[in-house]
Amino acid sequence: MSDKNDRKKPKAPETREDRLKAALKANMQKRKAQARARSDKNDKAG
């Protein structure tokens, strides 16, 4: 039964470095998406 519980939980980064790496990756993806949205908006307006 413990296997069933283990599968429900997503694996969280264990170390501070892993957490920071994951946060940085998410932040970069967010910024790239924002930059693409701004670029698309400028292309259409121009």
pLDDT tens digits, 1-46? 555 665 555 666 589 999 999 999 999 999 999 999 998 878 776 6
pTM of the model: 0.57
The amino acid present at 39, given as its one-letter code, is S
Other Cβ atoms within 10 Å of 37 Cβ, number: 10
Nearest-angstrom CA–CA distance, 31 and 29: 6
Identify the pLDDT of residue 12: 62
CB-based contacts of 13, cutoff 8 Å, min separation 6: 19, 21, 22
pLDDT for res 41? 79
Tell me how far apart the terminal alpha carbons of the chain are, to the nearest angstrom.
60
pLDDT value at residue 11: 67
